A and B are shown apart, each in its own frame.
Chain A
Amino acid sequence: MSLISCKNICLSYENNKVITDLSFTVEAGDYLCIVGENGSGKSTLVKAMLGLKETSSGHLHFGEGLKKGEVGYLPQQTTSQKDFPASVFEVVISGCVAGKRSIFYSEKHKSLAYENMKKLDIFHLRKKCFRELSGGQQQRVLLARALCATKKLLLLDEPVTGLDPVVTSELYSIIRSINRDYGITVIMVSHDLHSALKNASHILHLNKNKYFFGTTAEYTESEIYKSFSGGDCND
């Protein structure tokens, strides 16, 4: 059974249909990149996968015991976070908030937060103020928070926006290792087609009423890729 299976789903955004009749499946351990032009419905699809949006028709099904709320989500940064006084530890452990049963965080949650900070090499920053970190460090903190929220699936919404090339490639390799070494399924919305091709196992390309879903290898052979990448083919 697939981790996520989408069958003929339609989604609309402010009464405009942005996605019609889309089908794809995500298996455990996949690394899926969602690419496409602005306005092609990437963010709407992400919201639907997070359970924040109802599909107007079709089925979106979570399998393998994955429940709503067990998705680790890395949202696009909002302006209010930029000056928020919070320590790294506070941000990371807030990933556990939905899972906790008692009033306060238990030792289990704290050790989970520590573990994830170590994974992402930000343990030494745990007492630092979130707003004073660099962009790359901030994304790692938010990634650690997302890991606290899930054991199975990470959903990343344009995680590298605004980062410089070095930090970007660092972040990509972290995400790759999360996928490979910890067996966590990754779904990433990205503008960066080249990195997507390099890292992802599957590509979902959204275009106005034209979709492609398949492995990365299949994608590079497709019509939609050729027309989309256009002049960049030479790279």
Chain B
Amino acid sequence: MTDALNILLTQNFLIRALVVGVLVSLCCALLGVSLVLKRFSMIGDGLSHVGFGAMAIACVANIAPLYFALPIVLVAAFLLLRMNEKGKIKGDAAIALISTGALAVGVMVTSMTTGMNVDIYNYMFGSILTMSNDDVVITSVVSAVIISLFVLFYNEIFAVTFDESFARATGTRVSVYNMLIAGLTAVTIVIGMRMMGALLISSLIIFPAVTSMRLCKSFRSVIISSTFVSVLCFIAGLIFSVEYEAPTGASVVCVNICVLLLFTLIAKINSTVKSIHVKRFTVILTVIVFLTLICLPSAFSQAQLSKKEKLTVITTGFASYDFARQIVRDEGEVVMLLSPGEESHTYEPTPSDVVAVRECDVFVYGGGESEVWAERILSGSESTTTVVKMMDAVELHKHNHDENEHYHEESEHEEYDEHVWTSPVNAKLIVNEICDAVCSVDSYNEELYRLNAEKYLSQLDELDAQFRMLSENAEGKYVVIGDRFPLRYLMLEYSFDYMAAFPGCSAQVEVNPVTIAEINTCIKNDKIPVVFKVDLSSGTVARSISEETGANIDTLYSCHVISADDFENGETYISLMTRNINALKTAFGF
């Protein structure tokens, strides 16, 4: 307990997460009861998808997402309500229409860009750990308004929720209060989305209410119980995610599931048992089990605030990890955040990752679109970490640089490619940067680090020479990559001509069929023997090209993330790049 609490209360970013989370949970719990009882649960879900669509558009159009999404979600809420009342389209169908429609628009807009996918991904799954001070202020103000409106109109909300026709008949302005509930829900969802994500926010609305309804017998007790359940589940989920390095949003929902099951079980026992004493006993038992559930993760505490004496270097991907490893060797600890085999573009830091980054000596990251979170962690931090941004160490290329491309794809968005290390020449620049950073932190071992770096640089020179030799013989040849394309810097450095199925490496969902058709024609016409996939990709596009053309599939390594097997076997940047050389030789028919 103490460790987790220690981390929770000493790290400002976690305190911010805690404040925002508790407030959002509170609002969700209050509104959830009314929504669930009015059979409006799915409105919350529908609105969160609308919110996602709006956020996607806002990201692309470069408008502040919150201010753009809020009015749109509000309008959608009123629209849903109207559809429900008018009854032209049945409520559930209306919600499904609007929610899937908005989701489709969101995905559509997302696919038109290559740059901001990660921001949008954040709105899908939430990123509670990257709350800024502004977020805290906005959330506090908005939830204060929501909570006071709810308290002010508590009796009216009860009357409207319990029996709309009676309330209407006795002169209560039912539609006004329905709009109030829908409006408050819309606002709650928009502010909650940043934290929980569009996919999970509606669970915060529904779970506590349903859970409390298992046991509570009056409206007021349901409201009170669900605020407690909601807030406690959030705190428990947050502690759990700190302890076990689990994603926060999903942890909160999982705790909610457990509590729901627990309450259901107790309701079952209560309905079979008649004795009032036993009933009281079970209620007390609930509270105890509930509290234990929250404390349990902490009891088996794993998280430790590292007491470091040695130098620690944290890198995001494998290439930089290997570079740092070659320089530091036994004198310090090098940690890679992306564990072997993990999907790089959708990575979210866990609380302990954030703490680790802030407390390490040197942090190396790419700085591209998939690492927006890194900048958020570092901004406003009072940490003393020395930071190396690889993209600052080299000369950058845009995603759609057309000089040497056999084909270039259409896209107006010009984003810099983040996979700078794929060229050995860049690798040398990065190694120098890392070496400087490490030496500045640990000057005692400077001589050793410089020596290690020197040795490693000469190995990289050798690699460079091999690529150059390959390049000289590759006149008129070109490489076909039926996959995402993280190897731009490698290709451009050695003037390899290439065709790629995707313009870049972003998590774009669909492949353009025209591009594939062109690739197929070229392979057939020029009798290209090999179509490449990138390591750790599913290779579906390469496979379909191979089936169409008969070209063999081979793998190129981006060194962004390493596979678990390769990591076990101690592969390095150089060994993986040597594989690339051999693969290219085969492809060129040498």
Expressed in whole angstroms, the minimum distance between the Cβ of A83 and any Cβ of chain B is: 8
Q: Which of B152-160, B412-420, B507-515 contacts A (4 or more CB under 8 A)?
A: B152-160
Q: B39, B155, B169, B216: which contacts A71 (Cβ < 8 A)?
A: B169
Expressed in whole angstroms, the minimum distance between the Cβ of B128 and any Cβ of chain A is: 31
CA distance A87 to B158 in the complex (A): 12
Known: A91-B162, A97-B159. A85 touches B170 (CB 8 A): no
Residue A108 is within 8 A (CB to CB) of chain B in the complex:
no
Which chain B residue has the least Cβ–Cβ distance from A157?
A: B165
Q: Which of A33-41, A98-106, A183-191 contacts B (4 or more CB under 8 A)?
A: A98-106
Q: A71, A81, A127: which contacts B163 (Cβ < 8 A)?
A: A81
Q: Is the CB of B155 within 8 A of A97?
A: yes
Residue A199 is within 8 A (CB to CB) of chain B in the complex:
no
Q: Please, how many residues of chain B have a CB less than 8 angstroms from a CB on the other chain?
A: 28
Q: Is the CB of A78 within 8 A of B217?
A: no
For the side of the interface on A, what is the size category?
A: 35 or more
Which chain A residues (112-162) contact chain B, with CB distance < 8 Å? 127-129, 132, 142, 145-146, 149, 155
Known: A84-B37, A105-B155. A90 touches B171 (CB 8 A): no
CA distance A71 to B163 in the complex (A): 15
Q: Is the CB of B218 within 8 A of A90?
A: yes
Count chain A CB atoms within 10 A of each CB in B163, B217, B222 and give the residue with the most. Answer: B163
Residue B219 is within 8 A (CB to CB) of chain A in the complex:
yes
Residue A68 is within 8 A (CB to CB) of chain B in the complex:
yes
The secondary-structure label for the interface of chain B is helix
Residue A31 is within 8 A (CB to CB) of chain B in the complex:
no
Residue B38 is within 8 A (CB to CB) of chain A in the complex:
yes
Over the window 70-82 of chain A, the binary record of Cβ atoms lying under 8 Å from chain B Cβ atoms (1 yes, 0 no) is 1111110010110
Which chain A residue has the least Cβ–Cβ distance from B161?
A: A84
Over the window 219-243 of chain B, the binary record of Cβ atoms lying under 8 Å from chain A Cβ atoms (1 yes, 0 no) is 1111000000000000000000000
Residue A217 is within 8 A (CB to CB) of chain B in the complex:
no
Residues of B within 8 A of A69 (CB): 169-172
Which chain A residue has the least Cβ–Cβ distance from B157?
A: A97
Which chain B residue has the least Cβ–Cβ distance from A88?
A: B218
Residue B266 is within 8 A (CB to CB) of chain A in the complex:
no
Known: A80-B38, A85-B216, A129-B217. A90 touches B166 (CB 8 A): no
Residues of B within 8 A of A78 (CB): 163, 165
Which chain A residue has the least Cβ–Cβ distance from B173?
A: A98
Residues of B within 8 A of A132 (CB): 217
Residues of B within 8 A of A149 (CB): 166, 170
Q: A80, A103, A128, A145: which contacts B152 (Cβ < 8 A)?
A: A103
Expressed in whole angstroms, the minimum distance between the Cβ of A39 and any Cβ of chain B is: 19
Residue B213 is within 8 A (CB to CB) of chain A in the complex:
yes
Residues of B within 8 A of A72 (CB): 170
Known: A80-B37, A94-B155. A145 touches B166 (CB 8 A): yes
Residue B72 is within 8 A (CB to CB) of chain A in the complex:
no
Over the window 160-182 of chain B, the binary record of Cβ atoms lying under 8 Å from chain A Cβ atoms (1 yes, 0 no) is 00110111111110000000000
Residues of B within 8 A of A75 (CB): 163, 165-166, 169
Residues of A within 8 A of B220 (CB): 87, 90
Over the window 133-167 of chain B, the binary record of Cβ atoms lying under 8 Å from chain A Cβ atoms (1 yes, 0 no) is 00000000000000000001011101100110111
CA distance A95 to B38 in the complex (A): 18
Over the window 187-226 of chain B, the binary record of Cβ atoms lying under 8 Å from chain A Cβ atoms (1 yes, 0 no) is 0000000000000000000000000110011111110000
Count chain A CB atoms within 10 A of each CB in B38, B39, B155, B167 and give the residue with the most. Answer: B155
Q: B156, B218, B221: which contacts A97 (Cβ < 8 A)?
A: B156
Residue A50 is within 8 A (CB to CB) of chain B in the complex:
yes
CA distance A83 to B158 in the complex (A): 14
CA distance A146 to B212 in the complex (A): 28
Residues of A within 8 A of B154 (CB): 104
Q: Is the CB of B217 within 8 A of A94?
A: no
Count chain B CB atoms within 10 A of each CB in A50, A51, A78, A85 and give the residue with the most. Answer: A85
CA distance A146 to B221 in the complex (A): 24
Residues of A within 8 A of B171 (CB): 51, 68-70, 98
CA distance A52 to B221 in the complex (A): 32
Known: A81-B163, A86-B219, A87-B218. A100 touches B155 (CB 8 A): yes
Residues of B within 8 A of A86 (CB): 158, 162, 218-219
Residues of B within 8 A of A100 (CB): 155
Q: A81, A98, A127: which contacts B170 (Cβ < 8 A)?
A: A98
Residues of A within 8 A of B218 (CB): 85-87, 89-90, 127, 129
Q: A80, A94, A155: which contacts B169 (Cβ < 8 A)?
A: A155
Which chain A residue has the least Cβ–Cβ distance from B151?
A: A103
A80-B38, A85-B216 known, 14 other contacts, Cβ within 8 Å: A70-B170, A72-B170, A73-B169, A74-B166, A75-B163, A85-B213, A87-B217, A91-B162, A97-B170, A97-B172, A98-B167, A128-B217, A145-B166, A149-B170
Q: Which 10 residue pairs spanning A and B have beta carbons closest together? A: A69-B171, A129-B217, A87-B218, A73-B169, A97-B159, A50-B169, A98-B170, A98-B171, A94-B159, A75-B165
